Amino acid sequence: MMRILEKSSVLLPVVVILALLSMLGHGAYNHLADSDPLGLSYRGSVLETTLNTLVIVGSATTISAPIALLSSILFLETSTSSSDSGRSFARIMRRIMEVGASLPRLVWGVAGAVLFGSLFGLGVSAATGIAALACMMVPIMFNSFVDGLLSADRMYRPQLSALGIDANHAVRSVQFRAAMPALVASTIMAVGRGLGDAAVLLLTSGVSFVILSGLNESASPLAVQIYVLTMDIGGGRGEAMLAAVILLALTSIVQGLVLFIQPIDRHDRS
Amino acid sequence: MPALKPSWRMVLIFGVGLIPPITVIALVLLLAIRAVPAFQTVEIGMMLSASWAPETGAFGVLPLLVGTVFCAFLSTIACVLVGVPAAVSLAFFASTSERRVSILVLTVLASLPSVLVGLFCLELVARYIGLSVASGVIALFLMTWPSFTLVLYARLRQQGGQIVDAARALGIPERKAVYRLVFQKIRGDLTLAATFTLGKGAGEAMAVSFVIGNVPHAGFLPALFEGAHTLTTMVLKNHGAASGEHLGMVYVAILILGALIVFINVLGAFLASKLMKNR
């Protein structure tokens, strides 16, 4: 009985991915056969929202990665300091960032709309979306960066101390080189989360399927386009399928990069 | 990393590094401030009532909270029932090629955007069982089960190998050793993975909103094969059009959601640490 359950539960992921691929492939093929979805229309095209996605997620990553990195350095500096207050500060900082990472994307969307849209006066625009998305990505990156840097710190600090290299920046320099794969993989994973995000961007950057011409204008990424075309626009299911295929391809490329940098099953390969 | 002059280095690290924690605190405080007017105008009794109908001034958020927990709980049970045998099989009994393919596919599924899962459920699940809580639970299951299985698989590989080897040497059946002895050892990790899955399920909005029907349900507990609202789907659908008291209640709902997820995660960490100590 358990064997049957084990075998069928191992097969389930393969069945789900095949069903998903055939559903998307069939829907996108039918849409391509029926119309000219890449051509400009009154409501924009999948090509334009793909570019919007890359611009919004790229900008949010450019903002959030250095901030998360400096924040994780601050955490390491204080957590390895000799003073009790420094270590307490690091503990509190880590807890706050863990809470931030555990908050649902919807909370970040609503909070981003209030802070950047209302209080800062950016309204429903690409700028609000980028800022809210960057805010959501920072805690995710921070926690991964800290884990990567701490494991490198544990690996190299005793050796460097034994060699008499005590200067903090020397330790950090070695630590950063050792942690680089983890840092890059964490950033790419956060990009993957950003690419698929719809909750934050639906509430902050609004609905517009044409390519953004300024940061103060609304611009939808692929994920929002899929949601709106499916749920709110009659007859939009075919175009949503095409957008879904492109989104799946983008997230698969991102996931492939992560697996290339950090293979999951290293143990099995050795 | 090039060495910076100490003063500039400290200014840069402290100046920029403090932004994220301050932002997290500021955003939570901002939502709390926005929710205050709703607490002043809507009575607590009304918030705890069984009806969510903003057009008539009924703002009972309790059914939405119950609906959220109900859907997340059912999907977590499904995750455990499907994820545990899958993780056991992958960790101890599957062939190398079977393991590699399954883990690769699970990794791809774990990184799927929620809109793709929602679209998939709308096309292939809701077509047969309708826009209902059951469809929403399946959507949540598909969102959370791959990560749950991968986390459990990693823990089983890490903790269970020696126990299974010892059981083999002692002539104890392998499956008995895994399900009795290894799970005794990793019950803290299992609890943590399950509560994390529960929290993730409670916070999911997009995938569920595709298929759950997005209509307020009658009574506190939603029926399995009828449409319903959760806290997340209500916020998603109401945020853009709400104003006044209604908007205030949307902020109350989002605060409740955030508090619920933090509570679930803290409870999970507490239970896991207790179980790990009693190992």
Place of tokens 């205030």: B248
Query: Domains in chain A and their CATH numbers?
Result: 41-264 (1.10.3720.10)
Is 70 exceeded by the pLDDT of residue A154? yes
Is 90 exceeded by the pLDDT of residue A137? yes
Band the pLDDT of B206: cuts 50, 70, 90. very high
CB B164 within 8 A of CB B89: no
Whether B113 and A96 lie within 8 Å, measured CB to CB: no
pLDDT for residue B234: 94
Band the pLDDT of B224: cuts 50, 70, 90. very high
Angle between helical axes of A237-261 and A46-79 (0-180°, round to 10): 40
pLDDT for residue B279: 60
Q: How many CB pairs under 8 A join A and B?
A: 220
CB B181 within 8 A of CB B163: yes
The alpha-carbon gap from A151 to the nearest alpha carbon of chain B, in Å, equals: 17
Count of CB atoms situated within 10 Å of the CB of B266: 15
Report the chain A residue with the minimal C-alpha distance to residue B2.
Answer: A173
- Give kind and range of the element (H or E) at residue A67: helix A46-79
Strand B58-59 and strand B52-53: pairing? antiparallel
Band the pLDDT of A116: cuts 50, 70, 90. very high
Count of CB atoms situated within 10 Å of the CB of B169: 8
Place of tokens 């933090």: B262
Place of tokens 């295929």: A245
HEC states along chain B? Answer: CCCCCHHHHHHHHHHHHCHHHHHHHHHHHHHHHHHHHHHHHCCHHHHCCCCEEHHHCEECCHHHHHHHHHHHHHHHHHHHHHHHHHHHHHHHHCCHHHHHHHHHHHHHHHCCCHHHHHHHHHHHCHHHHCCCHHHHHHHHHHHHHHHHHHHHHHHHHHHHHHHHHHHHHHCCCHHHHHHHHHHHHCHHHHHHHHHHHHHHHHHCCHHHHHHCECCCCCCCCCCCCCCECCHHHHHHHHCCCCCHHHHHHHHHHHHHHHHHHHHHHHHHHHHHHHHHHCC
Q: How far is CA A68 from CA A32, A212, A269, B18, in A?
A: 41, 27, 32, 10
Interface test with A, best of B7, B8, B24, B195 (most A CBs within 10 A): B24
Whether A68 and B20 lie within 8 Å, measured CB to CB: yes
The 8-class DSSP code of residue A217 comes to S
Rounded Cα–Cα distance for residues B214 and A176 (Å): 48
Residue type, position B173, single letter: P
- Give kind and range of the element (H or E) at residue A267: helix A266-269
Report the candidate in A114, A122, A269, A139 with the shortest Cα–Cα distance to residue A200.
Answer: A114
Is 60 exceeded by the pLDDT of residue A84? yes
Whether B109 and A17 lie within 8 Å, measured CB to CB: yes
Supply the mean pLDDT for chain A. Answer: 87
Place of tokens 């970040």: A108
Burial of A121 (0-12, 13-18, 19+ CB in 10 A): exposed
Band the pLDDT of A226: cuts 50, 70, 90. very high
pLDDT for residue B6: 62
> B46-277 has which fold?
MetI-like fold (1.10.3720)
The 8-class DSSP code of residue A218 comes to -
pLDDT for residue B163: 85
The domain ranges of chain B are: 6-41, 46-277
Q: What share of chain A is helix, strand, coil (3-state, %, to 5)?
A: 80, 0, 20
Place of tokens 């964490």: A186
Rounded Cα–Cα distance for residues B272 and B266 (Å): 10
Is 70 exceeded by the pLDDT of residue A236? yes
Question: For chain A, what percent of residues have pLDDT higher than 70?
Answer: 90
pLDDT for residue B131: 95
Interface test with A, best of B27, B122, B231 (most A CBs within 10 A): B27
- Residues A11-47 pLDDT 10s: 999 999 999 999 999 998 888 887 655 554 445 688 8
The ipTM (two decimal places) reads 0.89
Residues in chain B, total: 279
Across the strands, what pairs with B228? B213
pLDDT for residue A136: 95
- Between B50 and A165, residue with greater pLDDT: B50
Rounded Cα–Cα distance for residues A95 and A93 (Å): 5
Main-chain phi, psi angles of A56, to 5 degrees: -65, -50
Whether A244 and B119 lie within 8 Å, measured CB to CB: yes
Whether B107 and A102 lie within 8 Å, measured CB to CB: no
Is 70 exceeded by the pLDDT of residue B169? yes
- Between A154 and A130, residue with greater pLDDT: A130
Q: Which one of A6, A7, A104 has the shortest CB-CB distance to B203?
A: A104
Query: B10 is written with which tokens?
Result: 């400290």
Helix (H, G, I), strand (E, B) or coil at A104: coil
Report the chain A residue with the minimal C-alpha distance to residue B254.
Answer: A107
